Structure 1
Amino acid sequence: MTDSLRRLAAYDRALYRTVARLSTPLLDEPLRRVSDFANFSKPWLIVGSALALLGGSRGRRAAVAGLTAVGATSLVVNQPLKKTTGVRRRPDRSGLGVPEQRWVRMPSSGSFPSGHSASAAAFAVAVGEFLPVLRSPLRVAASVVAFSRVYTGVHYPSDVLVGATVGALFGRLAARLALRRWPPPAE
């Protein structure tokens, strides 16, 4: 490992420890629930289904773009990326000071990058391109999911940052392809 990578890993652990030391017991239960609820992209499947059922043709197009982005992102992040980046071990929550009351089940897959963060960002970016009124709320929701993964101790901050970046790129790509297929009506 080069000096630069060692230094980045040290910053990553330091930021992880900083989050672990936050004295925010009121957030423990809500962020644990958010982290668990985001398993298998449940929030994005629910919102996508609601958009498809209730959002008219524009909502259906947004749902297709968002769920396509989630699917493509999940496939790439959870298969080749996690396998080719050299399986990064999950953080040692107890050794790095994450209080047990925050813990969720520790995934068995590698830590890098965060699939939860990738899927959340992919959906938020893709749907936000079709429905600008949802752009901010979905990005806030995606950020909460991403932060919850560090807060509960299952990811380092860089896992979440890279996951969100990959997801945002796939979200943008899915939206562009969908917009090319279904251009917005002329006003």
Structure 2
Amino acid sequence: MNSSATSDLYRDITDFARTTPSWFQHLAELWTEAGLLLFGVLFIAVWWYARPAGARAVAVAVLAPLATAVAYVCSELTKSALTEERPCRAVAGAGASLIPCPPVGDWSFPSNHATIAGAAAIALALARPVLAYLTVPMALLMAFSRVFVGVHYPHDVAVGLVFGGVVATLVVLAAARPVDALVGTMRTSGSSLALLLAGPGHPARTSDHVAVTERV
């Protein structure tokens, strides 16, 4: 991967980062990891919210974290094949990163954090469309924070966001129907654990699809 195209932008962003107050730098350092935890909380909340709804709504909610995990694996495989060095070691004239530069072998392109953020944002929005107003800004801020703290090029995070969103969408599209059927089966199994996971549904809505999942 040719990193020279965004090296100057990387320097500009990291130079700006070092002019910001220390509390803001610490906030960016925190968000680069804490955002992942918040996405995890949203996965659980969306699944719980979907349980009384139709089987398709539960299926898409359950697929959201799975699709994000698949996107991460695809990103890691891509990183291992392309082996782009981290900008905190490779960009001449750049100042020190705000957090320790990852070790050699922890490659830069694409950004795993941005891929996870992009995948989670889209998967959650497919499950609960109104969440897009929250998850998309979250993903963008997480991606930017990886450049801000100095461990990724801008193109690493831009591609990661798109890559994660595309993979998550494809996984949900491919798996929604069989998981929908599985949820329906679990709801009629009589198992208390199955009912806990799949939800009780609603007698009048079990076969209904929420608006967004009708398109999945």
Q: Do the two structures share a fold, i.e. TM-score over 0.5?
A: yes
Cα-to-partner distance string for 1:53-97 (whole Å, 9 max, x where unaligned): 24434664343222011110111111x201111x11111279412
Query: What is the match of residue 61 of structure 2?
Result: 63
What RMSD over aligned residues (CA atoms) do the two structures have, in Å? 2.6
Q: 1:88 aligns with which of 67, 84, 94?
A: 84
Instruction: Please state whether the residue corresponding to 1:96 is helix, strand or coil.
Output: coil
- Quote the Cα distance in structure 1 between the aligned partners of 2:110 and 2:25: 23
Q: Could you tell me which residue of structure 2 aligns to residue 44 of structure 1?
A: 39
Given the two structures, how large is their TM-score scaled by the length of structure 2?
0.70
Name the SS for the 2:132 alignment partner: helix
Secondary structure of 1:116 counterpart:
helix
Q: Does residue 132 of structure 2 align to residue 135 of structure 1? A: yes
Tell me which residue corresponds to 2:163. 166
Give, in angstroms, the shift of residue 36 of structure 1: 2.7
Measured against aligned partners, the alpha-carbon deviations of 1:22-44 in whole angstroms (never above 9, x if no partner) come to 23325312111011324xx4332
Aligned residue type for 2:31: V
Runs of 4+ aligned structure 1 residues displaced above 6 Å come to none
Structure 2 counterparts to residues 66-145 of structure 1, below 5 A = 66-78=64-76, 80-85=77-82, 87-92=83-88, 95-98=93-96, 103-108=98-103, 109-145=106-142
Gaps of 5+ in 2: 181-206, 212-216
Q: TM-score, normalised by structure 1?
A: 0.80
How many correspondences in the alignment? 174
* Structure 1 position 17, deviation (Å): 0.9
Give 1:141 deviation, angstroms: 0.4
Consecutive unaligned residues of structure 1, counting only runs of 5 or more, are: none
Assess if the C-alpha contact under 8 Å between 2:46 and 2:127 holds in 1: no
8 Å contact from structure 1 (residues 91, 154) kept in 2: yes
Bigger radius of gyration among the two? 2
Tell me, in whole angstroms, the C-alpha distance in 2 between the residues paired with 1:125 and 1:186.
16
8 Å CA contact 1:124–1:139 kept in 2: the answer is: yes
Q: Distance in 2 between matches of 1:152 and 1:184?
A: 46
